[in-house]
Amino acid sequence: MAVAALGTAVAVRVARSRERRFLHPDGRSFTGDLEVWGALQPTGAELFDRPGRHPVTLRISKGIGTRPGRADILGVAVRVHGPVAGRRHDLLFSTSGKGRVLRHVPVPRTSFDTVYGSILPYRTGSGRTFHLGVQADPDAGPLGRTLESVTAAARHDGAVLLLALADGAAVEVVGRLRFGAALAAKQDADLAFDPVRNVAADLHPTGLVHGSRALAYPLSQRWRGARTAARNPAAVARTNLHR
What CATH number is attached to the domain comprising 130?
A: 2.40.180.10
Structural domain range at position 165 = 26-240
Q: Is 101 a member of any domain?
A: yes
Q: Is 10 a member of any domain?
A: no
Q: Is 78 a member of any domain?
A: yes
pLDDT tens readout for residues 60-97: 999 999 999 899 999 999 999 976 545 789 999 999 98
Q: Is 114 a member of any domain?
A: yes
Q: What is the pLDDT of residue 233?
A: 81
Report the domain count for the chain: 1
Pick out the chain residues at pLDDT < 50. 1-18, 85
DSSP 18-30: TTS-SSS-EEEEE
Cα–Cα distance for residue pair 86/82, rounded to 1 Å: 7
Share of the chain above pLDDT 90, in %: 55
Q: What is the pLDDT of residue 19?
A: 54
Cα separation of the two ends of the chain: 48
**Helical spans, DSSP H, in the chain:** 2-16, 46-49, 99-102, 147-155, 185-190, 208-223, 233-240
Q: What share of the chain is helix, strand, coil (3-state, %, to 5)?
A: 25, 35, 40
